[in-house]
């Protein structure tokens, strides 16, 4: 596809549409990728929807922990739906073009939902901290009103920031190429197409990422350091095992999400390569939403029991 551009009044060539290359370096595997990603998307939809259903239908799961888990599953469905269906359509139709407005919209929702995930993971760690470290105060602290406030804050608190960041990124002139070497519109590959010096914009991105990513991550680490210290003081091995089992599921999700996202956004610019960036992005955009239901069900006896009751009824 040709590089379409137009001349601005400043005599700078400006891209009028983008091309998402995806995994075009693997031409013989396009059909295979289409099949694999279609299956993965269905697994994500079914697995996370099942968690939402059982947490709503089973009275034993009407607790703050599972209230947040249901929100997390809804988030994962939305998160993967921002990127994967668009890429699947491009694989099926071989039309890889995307307008700047569509690209900006995809990036904006991707950033908003990614930040929401960061906040929700911090909220879940706070819930576990109160439940384990202050169990007598748990019913008073984690009231239904408080749970709704925390969930709503996680969903909408970051919207103005991410909208502003998206506007800032797409206020740049793009003249190097119109080919985004990625399977969705993400910040690093978009910056590579921009004209002139983007250092100021990159610094602003790092500042926002630190605020919405690193700060929640630090809060999670602090919460779990206190949780682990409390668990180690439990008098019985059975109590310690149950507490560790509940918390380890959440910690594994935290490591997968924050670890892969940190590698993408905090690596030195010189070490970025399109192939590596795409593989790492697969972890926090597709792999993590796919394995989250497995992590939370296999390591949580309450969820397993609820699933058994659901399937026995049917």
Most confident of 104-108, 196-200, 305-309: 104-108
Sheet holding 97-98, edge to edge: 97-98, 18-20, 179-180
Please state, in angstroms and rounded to a whole number, the distance separating the CA atoms of residues 95 and 87. Answer: 10
The Cα 310–Cα 314 span in angstroms is 7
Give the ranges where 183-273 is alpha helix by DSSP (H). Answer: 187-191, 199-209, 215-231, 237-266
Enter the tokens of residue 265.
Answer: 């956004």
Residue spans per domain, the chain: 5-313
Predicted local distance difference test score (pLDDT) of residue 87? 92
Query: Could you give the C-alpha distances from 295 to 5, 107, 158, 253, in angstroms and in order?
Result: 47, 28, 27, 8
Give 143 or 29, the one with higher predicted confidence: 143
C-alpha torsion 260→122→132→151, nearest 10:
-130
3 has a pLDDT exceeding 50: no
Helix, strand, coil % in the chain, rounded to nearest 5: 75, 5, 20
CA distance 151 to 301: 24
How far apart CA 268 and CA 264 sit, in angstroms, is 9
- Residue 184 Cα to chain centre, angstroms: 14
| pTM given for the model | 0.86
* Strand positions, DSSP E, the chain: 5-7, 13-15, 18-20, 97-98, 179-180
Please report the pLDDT score of residue 9 as a whole number.
Answer: 41
Own/partner pairs for 67-71, CB < 8 Å, 24+ apart? 67/147, 67/151, 68/120, 68/123, 68/124, 68/127, 68/147, 68/150, 68/151, 69/124, 69/296, 71/120, 71/151, 71/154, 71/155
State mean pLDDT over 104-111. Answer: 94
Per-residue pLDDT tens over the stretch 194-240: 887 788 888 888 888 888 888 898 899 999 899 888 888 887 777 77
Pairing mode, strands 18-20 and 179-180: parallel
User: What's the burial of 263, exposed, middle or buried (CB within 10 Å: 0-12/13-18/19+)?
Assistant: middle
Q: Write the pLDDT tens digit of every residue in 56-81.
A: 888 888 889 889 989 999 999 999 99
Torsion of CA 73, 75, 76, 77, to 10 degrees: 90
Does CATH place domain 5-313 in 1.20.1070.10? yes
């Amino acid at each position: 596809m040709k590089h379409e551009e137009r001349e601005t009044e400043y005599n700078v060539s400006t891209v009028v549409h983008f091309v998402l290359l995806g995994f075009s370096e693997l031409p013989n595997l396009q059909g295979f990728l289409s099949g694999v990603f279609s299956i993965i998307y269905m697994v994500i939809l079914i697995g996370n929807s099942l968690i939402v259903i059982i947490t709503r239908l089973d009275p034993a799961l009407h607790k703050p922990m599972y209230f947040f888990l249901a929100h997390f599953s809804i988030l994962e469905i939305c998160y993967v739906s921002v990127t994967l269906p668009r890429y699947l359509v491009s694989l099926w139709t071989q039309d890889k073009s995307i307008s700047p407005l569509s690209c900006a919209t995809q990036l904006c929702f991707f950033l908003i939902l990614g930040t929401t995930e960061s906040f929700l993971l911090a909220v879940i760690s706070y819930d576990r901290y109160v439940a384990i470290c202050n169990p007598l105060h748990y019913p008073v602290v984690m009231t239904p009103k408080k749970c709704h406030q925390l969930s709503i804050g996680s969903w909408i608190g970051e919207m103005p920031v991410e909208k502003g960041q998206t506007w800032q990124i797409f206020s740049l002139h793009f003249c190097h190429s119109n080919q985004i070497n990625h399977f969705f519109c993400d910040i690093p590959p978009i910056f590579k197409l921009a004209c002139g010096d983007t250092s100021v914009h990159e610094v602003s991105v790092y500042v926002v990422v630190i605020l919405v990513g690193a700060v929640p991550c630090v809060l999670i680490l602090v919460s779990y350091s206190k949780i682990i210290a409390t668990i180690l003081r439990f008098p019985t091995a059975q109590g310690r095992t149950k507490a560790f089992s509940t918390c380890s599921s959440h910690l594994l999700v935290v490591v997968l999400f924050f670890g892969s996202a940190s590698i993408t956004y905090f690596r030195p610019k010189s070490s970025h390569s399109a192939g590596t960036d795409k593989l790492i992005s697969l972890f926090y955009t597709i792999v993590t939403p796919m394995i989250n239901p497995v992590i939370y069900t296999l390591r949580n006896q309450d969820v397993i029991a609820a699933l058994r009751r659901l399937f026995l009824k049917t």
